[in-house]
Structure 1
Amino acid sequence: LYSTASASPVPIPSCQQVPFLSQKDNTHIMAKPGILGRSSSVPRSNEGMRIIFSAVVGIMLGYLFGISFPTVNITKLHFPSSIISYIEDRNSGITTQTLLNHAWTSAANHKKNNSASNPDEIPKIYVPTNPKGAERLPPGIVVSETDLYLRRLWGEPSEDLTSQPRYLVTFTVGYSQKANIDAVVKKFSENFTIMLFHYDGRTTEWDEFEWSKRAIHVSVRKQTKWWYAKRFLHPDVVARYDYIFIWDEDLGVEHFNAEAYIKLVRKHGLEISQPGLEPDRGLTWQMTKRIGDQEVHKFVEIMATVFSRDAWRCVWHMIQNDLVHGWGLDFALRKCVEPAHEKIGVVDSQWIIHQVIPSLGNQGKAENGKAPWEGVRERCRKEWGMFQTRLADAEKAYYLEHGITPPNSTGA
């Protein structure tokens, strides 16, 4: 540097050569032209930092324009800490971190858009029409229904089934009724899958019957047929069967033939049916008693009910988890078929006998001086009232929700 006051160069002393000066002396020296030459470096330094800042901003803007190239990675950009600190000091309200975050977000969004349009990337599967929970599976692998067909543990799966029964019959049984159940099962051909629900826990003893070795056994102590049906006869499990028989254990079948019964059910288009009951034996409803000169008449109860596949899907949803005896269910079956007076009926020409054996009643518990069967009967009546109330409340809530005056309502 040279002083403007002299034509000859004047050397500027280094920091080590400048003695300590008072504020007064320092002011005097700074006023000299030779010293002013050194102070001019401050604005030049500021101008250099502005150039650096402009360069950084230019780089970042260039990066934003150039993110169309997939090889660019924001995480690979590094800036000296001194530059970053200066930028943060110079920018009011906009820090380097903010700018970098904006760049990162833009890059990520662009990468996501590129991935969506990348023909080489395998798209994820989502099929909303698949069963709930299976939307991510390709439809070709979804098996939404199953069956109760028994299969081997060896050989070719395609060769497992020598026959595929079209009907299912279930009995809720105790071992004490083995002779009666044996007689009933023999009335059903190999076109029926046999399923026993054991409420007394005894299963292996039934293997004295050859048919028992091919039957399906479910054992849970002290439960009713509707408890079993709700949990083990889901409509998607029994979907392969045209008709599902859900029967008690105390039925006489001397005058019953299952195949002939099915033919009559099909002939008359019955979705919910039962065999007629012998009027001179046991306790029966008047409406379910057999009429001798007819093939069928209308109404059924729950003692020996037969459901079509579609009707059972509806009835299954109506069965309450806690109302295990099913009392009152027979009066509500009409809600599952239309028209009910044509689709529900008793098959008079194939009749059975209700033997009235209170075997399940004996599975109750004696309380307050009452016999076990009395407690069971009391529970049955209580469930009947509860079911009627629930059904009425559900229907009323539906109509009110849709702005419809409930049937049998005065509108008050």
Structure 2
Amino acid sequence: MAISYRSGVSRKTNDSVRLIVTTIMGMVFGYFIGVSFPSVYLTRFHKTSMDDHHNVERSFPENLGSGNIPLTPKVYVPTNPRGAESLPPGIVVSESDLYLRRLWGEPREDLKIKPKYLVTFTVGLNQKQNIDAAVKKFSQDFQILLFHYDGRITEWDQFEWSKHAVHISVRKQTKWWYAKRFLHPDIVAAYEYIFIWDEDLGVEHFNGDRYIKLVKKHGLEISQPGLEPNEGLTWQMTKRRGDKEVHKETEEKPGWCKDPRLPPCAAFVEIMAPVFSRKAWRCVWHMIQNDLVHGWGLDFALRRCVEPAHEKIGVVDSQWIVHQVIPSLGSQGEAENGKAPWENVRERCRYEWGLFQDRLAKADKQYFTQLGRN
């Protein structure tokens, strides 16, 4: 027993030594393989993943460092958009659009038609029939975007066109609030013209394609359809003229126009149904104040975004609309201080008008004072 026991210990000792030596050699061999592996030239490999059934080929990184960590080249391109200076220019996509994309297939096959123009309405469900009539005045070249101030979206599915429209819903907000947040120039850069319209417009005598032709023909960067005069307050400049395609100037009441080339006698459209070229909108968007949501006063300042304004701002008479003056959004306000919701809304509109004019005057003064110092 003793001899057998000692003999067993000896065999175990030899086996242990061989195991240790083999393990050490394996570790050394594995280390050299690991170190030398990145230098092996590999062209391509098939990644085992969900992509296999598409037979997608992936290029293996050729600039691996130790530990197989890719070595990212240092990039700094000051001409890139702000925040993207560390990216190679070829990968930077600084603009977007509102085109709808599929969840399957190849991206290049997503769009059969690319709309050239963007039409936005700020809507409540009570005006759905009016909006339905308006949308039908625009061809497939126009992308429809609805801003819903009452939070009700699914009810619009009864209209076939609604299934292809873009819907954005935030309760009790105005179209200029939406425009500032969702119509950044880089987001709508794909569209030649942007319509920012109210929901209570009668469009029986309007056609979108004909309107665009006239805007291009007369070189209008900022425009609106002519308004059929009614009992509501309408500026002389925006009233429809029956003997013209387009007009760019008018005569107002005595004392209103100190210069015939300035608003409201020229270079002027109202904020209910404006249409902007891509270039003009890039300027106008920056002028919209983030906290002023009704847009009052903006119409008198639009001329700052085109030059010469009295030639590039105008009213399209032969494609005209009716302002129905239905205060749907105004009814979304709150009754306070013994006043009805629409009265409180109108009060804020007037306040914003004065505040915007004050800010613009102050900005002018600061700029020209600084210019004088330089």
Report how many residues are paired.
285
Render the CA deviation track for 1:275-317: whole Å, top value 9, x for unaligned. Answer: 0000135432222111111111123111100000000000000
Determine the C-alpha separation between the residues in 2 that align with 1:267 and 1:281.
32
Partner of 2:154: 204
CA contact (8 A) 1:146 1:236 kept: yes
CA contact (8 A) 1:226 1:324 kept: yes
SS in 1 for 2:121: strand
Partner of 1:331: 300
Determine the C-alpha separation between the residues in 2 that align with 1:216 and 1:281.
34
Determine the C-alpha separation between the residues in 2 that align with 1:180 and 1:282.
19
1:122–1:164 Cα change, 3 Å: closer
Determine the C-alpha separation between the residues in 2 that align with 1:290 and 1:343.
18
Determine the C-alpha separation between the residues in 2 that align with 1:249 and 1:220.
16
Residue 193 in structure 1 maps to residue 162 in structure 2? no
Residue 267 in structure 1 maps to residue 236 in structure 2? no
Unaligned runs of 5+ in 1: 1-120, 406-412
Deviation at 1:145, TM superposition (A): 0.2
Partner of 2:325: 356
Deviation at 1:252, TM superposition (A): 0.2
Determine the C-alpha separation between the residues in 2 that align with 1:159 and 1:281.
51
Percent identity at matched positions?
Answer: 81
Partner of 1:315: 284
Deviation at 1:184, TM superposition (A): 0.2
Partner of 1:253: 203
Partner of 2:116: 166
Render the CA deviation track for 1:149-191: whole Å, top value 9, x for unaligned. Answer: 0000111111111110000000000000000000000000000
Partner of 2:343: 374
Partner of 1:236: 186
Determine the C-alpha separation between the residues in 2 that align with 1:122 and 1:337.
44
Matches within 5 A, 1:122-133: 123-133=73-83
Matches within 5 A, 1:86-235: 123-235=73-185
CA contact (8 A) 1:281 1:353 kept: no
Deviation at 1:402, TM superposition (A): 1.0
Deviation at 1:372, TM superposition (A): 0.4
Determine the C-alpha separation between the residues in 1 that align with 2:271 and 2:93.
32
1:211–1:365 Cα change, 3 Å: same
Deviation at 1:122, TM superposition (A): 7.4
SS in 2 for 1:211: helix
Partner of 2:244: 294
Render the CA deviation track for 1:319-367: whole Å, top value 9, x for unaligned. Answer: 0011000000000000000000000000011100000001011011111
Determine the C-alpha separation between the residues in 1 that align with 2:207 and 2:190.
22
CA RMSD of aligned residues (A): 1.3
Residue 341 in structure 1 maps to residue 315 in structure 2? no
1:353–1:404 Cα change, 3 Å: farther
SS in 2 for 1:352: strand
Between structure 1 and structure 2, the one with the greater Rg is: 1
Which of structure 1's runs of 4+ aligned residues deviate more than 2 A?
Answer: 280-283
Determine the C-alpha separation between the residues in 1 that align with 2:177 and 2:345.
15
Unaligned runs of 5+ in 2: 1-70, 249-267
Deviation at 1:124, TM superposition (A): 1.3
TM-score relative to the length of structure 1: 0.68
CA contact (8 A) 1:300 1:346 kept: yes
Paired letter, 2:105: G
Determine the C-alpha separation between the residues in 1 that align with 2:131 and 2:307.
34
Determine the C-alpha separation between the residues in 1 that align with 2:107 and 2:190.
18
